[in-house]
Amino acid sequence: MSINRVVISGNLTRDPELRSTGGGTSVLRLGVAVNDRRKNQQTGEWEEFPNFVDVTVFGARAEALSRFLTKGTKVAIEGKLRWSQWETPQGDKRSKLEVIADEIELLTARDSGSREYSAPAASSAGSPIDDLGEEIPF
């Protein structure tokens, strides 16, 4: 048995990019900075080190979230890891590990209010990931 679940929270490193597959499925790409605390062995002080995580959201949720998310927004994300590989036009092999989001919650209030926005849950039936084929990465 294997389990593929991940939960992260952090700030968006850039404005999200909304695109569509050839089949019309919306795809939203995010970059999230997640801090890791480590103790500096020389000074004894705790220091924060950022980890940069690529996140992808599919479907109607991708379109809705693209209207709310901007660089710096604090989010909590639950999803699964996906590894992909491809070859560049120059023949170089590339790979990456990313999070495919099932749930995203905005932790930064929109405007100056204290509201939170929770994206609707994704349906596990008919995952658009299977339809992407050669179109990923962008």
Q: Is the pLDDT of residue 135 over 80?
A: no
Contact between 6 and 76 under an 8 Å Cβ cutoff? The reply is no
Mean pLDDT computed over 15-24: 95
Question: What average pLDDT does range 6-34 have in this prediction?
Answer: 96
pTM of the model: 0.74
Top-tier CATH class for 6-115: mainly beta
pLDDT over 70 percentage in the chain: 79
What is the 3 state secondary structure string of 47-61? EEEEEEEEEEEECHH
Looking at residue 110, its pLDDT comes to 62
**Residue that has been written with the tokens 């349906």 in this structure:** 123
Q: Which residues pair with 99 in a beta bridge?
A: 55, 81
Give the residue among 73, 56, 67, 61 at the shortest CA–CA distance from 109.
73
> Structure tokens of 125?
């039936």
Strand partners, 8: 77
